[in-house]
Amino acid sequence: MRKKIVAGNWKMNLNFEDGQKLTSEIVNILKDENDKKVTVVLNPPFVHLYPVKKLIGDTPNLFLGSQNCSDKSSGAYTGEVSAAMLVSFGAEYVIIGHSERREYFKESNQLLTAKTRQALENGLIPIFCCGEPLDIREAGTHEAYVKAQLTESLFGFTEEEISKVVIAYEPIWAIGTGKTASSEQAQEMHAALRNHFASKYGQNVADNLSILYGGSCNPGNAKEIFSKADVDGGLIGGASLKSRDFVEIVKSF
């Protein structure tokens, strides 16, 4: 049975005190209200990893993730953070290939392959992001575009390795814009991506692959989106910065 996952991506937000407050609120609410056995992942900036992990403690089904990792294992790479470092701070997940990393930092599919390999070799679960910009969606070539991202980045991995990856589909035109893909659009793309993995790795692997939706998901639309057969949760941006909104999304299952 596929994991139901809600991952919060704080992006570059919150100072130390605000991060502590948000985490404490989420922990306290989830202890009482996460009765659906949803896997919840908090992905703060690097500087928050250790204090957030301490607050998470042994809270059931709540895990620490990172927003990025280096494609290198160690060395003279000033400003980078390795997968092994993340593990040493208690991280269990890492976001790879977020659209903002692809766009602003020009991360290529080949670089994301190397990052994914580093994550897997160090026991981290990659939340691998893919998705199309507005012009590709309007041209009607969005399925081919996103499938190419996945093929070029992930199809060199083994069946066993792919089974450890979580996919997050991000319609880039719906991130931070207030626009949201309809639940039907989300289902259509998620089903297409699952079929794409089935074509390479077989139906059993594809059926057990968690595919998250990441595009302006909020407490008002999460229940409808999560109700679709191939949507297994969400990668949440803005709404993850408000404890009650974030937990309401978790409870949408």
Whether the predicted pLDDT of 185 surpasses 90? yes
Residue 237: give the domain boundaries: 5-250
Name the domain count of the chain: 1
Helices (H), the chain: 16-33, 49-56, 83-88, 99-104, 109-121, 134-139, 142-154, 159-162, 183-201, 203-207, 222-226, 243-250
Q: Is the pLDDT of residue 166 over 70?
A: yes
Given 48, 98, 142, 196, the catalytic residue: 98
Encoded tokens for 252: 């949408």
Q: How far apart are CA 175 and CA 45, in angstroms?
A: 19
Buried b / exposed e along 122-150 (16+ C-beta atoms within 10 A): bebbbbbbbbbbeebbeeeebbebbbebb
The CATH number that applies at residue 20 is: 3.20.20.70
Known catalytic residue at 170 = yes
Residue of 107, 132, 170, 248 with catalytic role:
170
Stretch 121-149: mean pLDDT: 96
Distance CA 120, CA 125 (A): 7
Cβ-based neighbours of 89, under 8 Å, separated by 6 or more: 49, 50, 53, 64
Q: Residues 191-235: pLDDT tens digits?
A: 999 999 999 999 999 999 999 999 889 999 999 999 999 999 999
Among residues 149, 125, 146, the alpha carbon closest in space to that of 137 is found at 146
pTM of the model: 0.97
